[in-house]
Amino acid sequence: MKKIKKILIANRGEIAVRIHRSAKEMGIETVAVYSDLDRTAPHVLLCDYAYPLHGVSSAETYLDIQKILSIAKKAKVDAIHPGYGFLSEKEEFARQVQNEGFIFIGPTAKTIGLLGSKTAARELLSQHNVPIVPGTIRPIQTTEEAKQIAKHIGFPVLIKASGGGGGKGMRRVNTETELESAIERARNEAKKAFGDDRIYIEKLITKPKHIEIQILADSYGTVVHLGERECSIQRRHQKVVEESPSMALTDELRNAMGQTAITIAKAAQYVNAGTVEFLLDENKNFYFLEVNTRIQVEHPATEMIYGVDIVKEQIRIAQGEPLSISQNDLKINGHAIECRICAEDTDNNFLPSTGTISTYYPSEGHGMRNDSGIRAGIDISMHYDPMIAKLIVHAKNRNDAIEKMKRALTEYTITGIKTTIPFCLFVMHHDEFIQGTYDINFVESHFRSRSTPIDEKSAVAILAAFSKYKRNNKPISIANANNVASKWKMTAFNE
């Protein structure tokens, strides 16, 4: 067992800040790395040491394995934490970190490789009676093969990248005539995003909920699950709003999904923190989707209701300690909701919004947490992920959590760029979210740009969100406030 004294955080933004804070509370020194654009970013200023990566793009900075390893040697760190995104699920990175004598705060390279390939994971878990969405367990080789498989399982189907996630390399196919072009586009996108153009076919479950189970596993064979998060509010297959627990799960279903997640972890000899993702259909049948072999963006929602610091558990596991908690220790306490604050124009198909943050006043109050990697004066560029902060609330029940989130979103002030705050307010006011009946088609079904007609329920939700926002932000000119979507300047809502 080696005690970790210094960690290099191979990431940026809010997750780098998040990791630093837990490490410091454990008496561990932290080392930041930064691109030219991030020279004065919060994670750089907070860490004990900071080293430049000399470059701007992700490829020449946060994705450059050799630069990061060189800095790790120079800084004489004991361990490297990859956060999420960038190199966090790269088998080669984990292997090189370990080969250089550093502790990798995450699963082994072998496990990352196994579960990083969606087809390899499906093949493994099909041998352990884990329910899997009908489709292929090996990459498809030809268009003709794809046609035969699609006909067999029935349209619509999904073409998916074998070597990655996050919505990249994914295409819905409704008919056979769409198949060939969808395969070509999916291959190209997967190659660009992951350096791997392998794809597979999966039956499309038309109205599923996206449910994920948080797991922790130590080196001694102990695996626990920390319940579920529902992540069904998505745009372009990427999550925007998450909550825990899910209204869709009974205690029995929660236990069944949790035990299945543990089975999967043990089958893959998993160690450290991870997330097992499932789809839940309208009949409460659940199907394995994938395993994220890293800390998850939405992990704070779980931390809020279980009182567990997942990053600290990651560090303890990495330095050889057994889990500090048992399954019997884990009890749900209240309800948590997380909204991702992304630099995106919600009135323009969620396209990235760039510029300089001129003012930044995040919400405060009891039962509230703001995980952020920004401050006033920071430039938001096209080079990195548009998520800039996460707002998380915790209350004794779901209704109180929704009301707390509404209040927090209306008080959250950020100018200079457009953000997803208006969209998150829209969600909090919508009947389907309030009732918990929403699925992953929520955005396509209910959220439209101002040029597209919307249904009555959505119009009511927009008006309610707009009115509350305006009441709580009187000093801000609605015409000029960047965090008010232009959708809400529709004639029907003008006063």
Which amino acids are annotated catalytic? 294
In angstroms, the CA 414 to CA 357 distance is 7
Cis, bond preceding 322 (omega within 30 deg of 0): no
* Contact indicator for 371, 19 with CB cutoff of 8 Å: no
- First and final CA of the chain: distance in angstroms? 66
Q: What Cα–Cα distance (Å) separates residue 418 from each residue in 13, 59, 145, 422, 481? A: 18, 26, 44, 9, 9
What DSSP assignment string belongs to 45-62? HHSSEEEE---SSTTTTT
- For the chain, give the longest Cα–Cα distance: 66
SS3 at position 466: helix
Separation between Cα atoms, residue 432 and residue 422, nearest integer Å: 17
CA atoms within 13 A on the CB side of 416: 17
Report yes or no: 272 and 107 within 8 Å, Cβ to Cβ: yes
Token pair, residue 196, equals 């791997």
Residue 35's CB is within 10 A of a number of other CB atoms, namely 22
Buried b vs exposed e over 107-146: b needs ≥16 C-beta within 10 Å? Answer: bbbebbbbbbbbbbbbebbeeeebebbebbbebbeeeeeb
Q: Which residue has the tokens 């990249």?
A: 168
User: Residues near 219 by Cβ (< 8 Å), separated by ≥ 6?
Assistant: 271, 317, 320, 322
Q: Which residues contact 44 (CB under 8 A, 6 or more apart)?
A: 32, 34, 38, 50
Residues 6+ apart with CB under 8 A from 200: 118, 119, 122, 135, 136, 137, 138, 139, 140, 159, 160, 162
How far apart are alpha carbons 40 and 378 in whole angstroms? 8
Pairing of strands 157-161, 49-52: unpaired
